[in-house]
Chains A and B, each alone.
Chain A
């Protein structure tokens, strides 16, 4: 006798504990097996590009904070680099500013990886591991907060410089926090890396082949987990990445466990980069000495006519960027964050496009979980680290 069966259609998200309200999987299930998974995004679409086109070049910075909000400073930096490229002032940025940008980028990367790994553990049911990660992240965020006054939405970088210099005792703060962070790191390692249940959940799940990953446009830790050594910091060095010594961890299998290992090692490498830079921090100003690009200091604005005029013009009309276009790739925590800016000359961008790394990653979700178990969606989805703000913009 042939029993009539039909697949169970399951609507996973956007209101589902694992999808964070930002994505929806339309699943066709055969029991616990996923026959087909259709991914739908856009629940957090806020019209990033349209808003950018309406404001001045400087007013875009707060919007970039809200792309990948776990590593906001990286987006700030990427955008600033793109505008500076359009302005043709890339070489004139003070050394100190570049060094601080590099340090802050790496701090953000650490915070992002902590958040991502922690949240994955939470969704695998290990709440304790999650809170350990969060504690390490809080320490990292404390440093970021001491620099720019905010934990997430930093709004720290400016075209041609930074909003403020580093606070007093920054190096000491970092040197005090890093040993603690290393202890936490080894605790995660002990708690997870050799944990049989964790291994079973992560190994051989959500894998993707090297060719497929490239065809889908994977970048960042997910691509490196497949064994492709592509990191913008090495391939197209920006900031000070060509002057510091660091390694790029690369996986073998491209499964969730390798993605986890790559991220864990990247945290270490980020600490290494920061420690190298903090010892040879150059002095001097953090802002470019060009009042048409970076506002003069408040004292000057209040005391000198020209500075006052520049301040007024920069605020009301925006920085004047000559017509042209530029694309700057940077290595975000999730992969390549590239800003493609088009200017028609004037104070507002004609086009402000960000290449969202997790957009390309999310696209492959359907293929990565095809034929897997329902439970495998969870670690896979966590490891591609979909950030709604970045994916939907």
Chain B
């Protein structure tokens, strides 16, 4: 059922302005902040974990900016590098694959709320680009498209290692897509909605956060999410010591950079979904929307809403950053699985546990009723 509350108002201008602003905001957050900066964060965090200093050599007039200049040099290098297509490769698909890989990670963000709903000067602002009532299904649908990017890349490269990587991606994504969907059924049952904004609103009470209502679901989901992200310990499709670099062995320059970016953006998306579903979305713990608006009451009604909005948006991104940190922590701590072990984990452990989780959730809900 479609909720007509958020349909365009008779006056389209504020609506369009709001939507454009949100798209630009999300796009610039992802492409301008996360995609380049996570490379730096990853280097520095791994360096910290490994008793190293990390990247600090590149400089502009002697300023290294804690290694941030490396981000620029990286970009410069990737842009100017030769774009290599191996002999016998399918040129069209070889070109297409990185775009297919990177686009879904961006598009998925359309339904993830990065703030609540605010009444600003009579205009209802909703901090989500597209408030779909099938929100999370949209995320899954779009995320699974990115699998095609990797599979096609593996196939189009005319290289056995790429092919093996492509096959591994296909198998891994397929297995974990199923499991991931099921791990979230519990969440939908608890909150009674697929719309991510509804789930966000329902988590205003700290003890109604997804992680408390669905602890098992949370752990299963984060495992699946790691697997979907194809990073260690689930990086078998690109395991460099086994199959060279998996599906992007034959990619260089900007196209390689797109796969690289896709990986980081996926990490952001996953963290955002985690936050939206299990970590209270934009909500500040123990502080409700109304309380926050009261706190900023001295600014006047509308400005108080603006201040609340800013706090919420910042809290959301702060939580996302926290989860990115955790994901990187896991990535730099563990060795990688073997192909069959990943499959076993997905089909024989996570899937049954997800079903058990659904069953228990149903029982508890019946009990509570």
Q: Which residues of B contact A376 (CB under 8 A)?
A: 338
Confirm or deny: A246 has a beta carbon within 8 angstroms of a beta carbon on chain B: no
B239 touches A375 (CB 8 A): yes
Q: Which residues of B contact A17 (CB under 8 A)?
A: 240-241, 244
A125 touches B160 (CB 8 A): no
A125 touches B235 (CB 8 A): yes
Q: Pick the interface stretch among B46-54, B137-145, B199-207.
A: B46-54
Q: Quick one: which of B327-366 are within 8 Å of A by CB?
A: 332-341
Chain A 184-224 against B: per-residue CB contact (8 Å), 1 yes, 0 no?
00000001000101101100000000000000000000000
Q: How far is the CB of A264 from chain B (nearest CB, A)?
A: 16
Q: Pick the interface stretch among A127-135, A288-296, A331-339.
A: A127-135
Which chain B residue lies CB-closest to A374? B242
Confirm or deny: A16 has a beta carbon within 8 angstroms of a beta carbon on chain B: yes
- Report how far A198 CA is from B333 CA in the complex, Å: 11
Confirm or deny: A342 has a beta carbon within 8 angstroms of a beta carbon on chain B: no
B51 touches A10 (CB 8 A): no
- B232 partner, pick from A18, A125, A377, A378, beta carbons under 8 A: A125
Confirm or deny: A8 has a beta carbon within 8 angstroms of a beta carbon on chain B: yes
Q: How far is the CB of A15 from chain B (nearest CB, A)?
A: 9
Q: How far is the CB of B160 from chain A (nearest CB, A)?
A: 5
Chain B 153-172 against A: per-residue CB contact (8 Å), 1 yes, 0 no?
00000001100100100000
- B334 partner, pick from A10, A122, A125, beta carbons under 8 A: A125
Chain B 233-245 against A: per-residue CB contact (8 Å), 1 yes, 0 no?
1011001111110
A378 touches B334 (CB 8 A): no
Q: Which residues of A contact B332 (CB under 8 A)?
A: 127-128
Q: How far is the CB of B155 from chain A (nearest CB, A)?
A: 14
B333 touches A375 (CB 8 A): no
Which chain B residue lies CB-closest to A375? B338
B241 touches A123 (CB 8 A): yes
Counting chain B residues whose Cβ lies within 8 A of the other chain, the interface size class is: 20 to 34
A127 touches B46 (CB 8 A): yes
Q: How far is the CB of A181 from chain B (nearest CB, A)?
A: 15
Q: Which residues of B contact A374 (CB under 8 A)?
A: 164, 242-243, 339
With A374-B242, A375-B239, A378-B242 as known contacts, state yes or no: A197 contacts B50, CB within 8 Å: no
Which chain A residue lies CB-closest to B47? A131
Report which residue of A8, A17, A31 has the largest number of chain B beta carbons within 10 angstroms of its beta carbon: A17
Q: Which residues of B contact A129 (CB under 8 A)?
A: 335
With A17-B240, A197-B233, A378-B241 as known contacts, state yes or no: A127 contacts B50, CB within 8 Å: yes
Report which residue of B46, B333, B335, B337 has the largest number of chain A beta carbons within 10 angstroms of its beta carbon: B335
B335 touches A121 (CB 8 A): yes
Confirm or deny: A124 has a beta carbon within 8 angstroms of a beta carbon on chain B: yes
- Report how far A89 CA is from B34 CA in the complex, Å: 69
B50 touches A131 (CB 8 A): yes
With A124-B241, A125-B239, A125-B241 as known contacts, state yes or no: A131 contacts B334, CB within 8 Å: no
Q: Which residues of A contact B49 (CB under 8 A)?
A: 128
- Report how far A127 CA is from B51 CA in the complex, Å: 12
Confirm or deny: A126 has a beta carbon within 8 angstroms of a beta carbon on chain B: yes
Q: Which residues of B contact A131 (CB under 8 A)?
A: 50-52
Which chain A residue lies CB-closest to B160? A10
- Report how far A191 CA is from B332 CA in the complex, Å: 12
Confirm or deny: A242 has a beta carbon within 8 angstroms of a beta carbon on chain B: no
Q: How far is the CB of A384 from chain B (nearest CB, A)?
A: 15
With A18-B242, A374-B242, A375-B239 as known contacts, state yes or no: A128 contacts B339, CB within 8 Å: no
Which chain A residue lies CB-closest to B344? A200
Q: Which residues of A contact B335 (CB under 8 A)?
A: 121, 124-126, 129, 195, 197-198, 201
Confirm or deny: A32 has a beta carbon within 8 angstroms of a beta carbon on chain B: yes
A135 touches B51 (CB 8 A): yes
Interface residues of A (CB under 8 A from B): 8, 10-11, 16-18, 31-32, 121-129, 131-132, 135, 191, 195, 197-198, 200-201, 373-378
Interface residues of B (CB under 8 A from A): 46, 49-52, 160-161, 164, 167, 232-233, 235-236, 239-244, 332-341
Given contacts A11-B160, A129-B335, A131-B52, 5 further A-B contacts (CB under 8 A): A18-B241, A125-B334, A198-B335, A200-B341, A375-B236
5 A/B residue pairs, CB under 8 Å, sorted by A: A10-B161, A125-B336, A126-B334, A195-B334, A198-B335
